[in-house]
Amino acid sequence: MNPGLLRHRITFQRKTQVQDNEGNWVEGYEDAFTVWGAIEGVGSMRNPEVTVAGALGVRAPRKITIRANKQLSHNMRAICDGRIFNVLDFGYAKNSKSYFEIICDEVGING
């Protein structure tokens, strides 16, 4: 992996319970960590990553690549330049124990 390709500043958020103005507990998100990463569309339908995402009903799967980070978990989402991505699955990149490839879906792109 060429570290120069990690050109997007990506913030990962975890789910949490927060109190609104009326004192009710509602689900929200808090920042967990921010890293440099790469965001790609998953373009080929023969690509196994698309098949996995397609089985989950994802319309626009994306792959985010970051340096391996022990804080990453499946119940997180990623924010980059106002775009929101829900984490579906992740694992080490091919031939590397230094980078994670994260399969996610982009939220709110269809209106």
What confidence tens digit (pLDDT) does each residue in 34-57 have? 999 999 986 544 455 554 545 544
Instruction: Say how far apart CA 5 and CA 17 lie, in whole Å.
Output: 35
Query: What is the tens place of the pLDDT at every residue in 56-67?
Result: 444 578 999 999
The rounded mean pLDDT for the chain is 84
Cβ–Cβ < 8 Å for 30, 11: no
Reported as type and span, the H/E element at residue 41 is strand 25-41
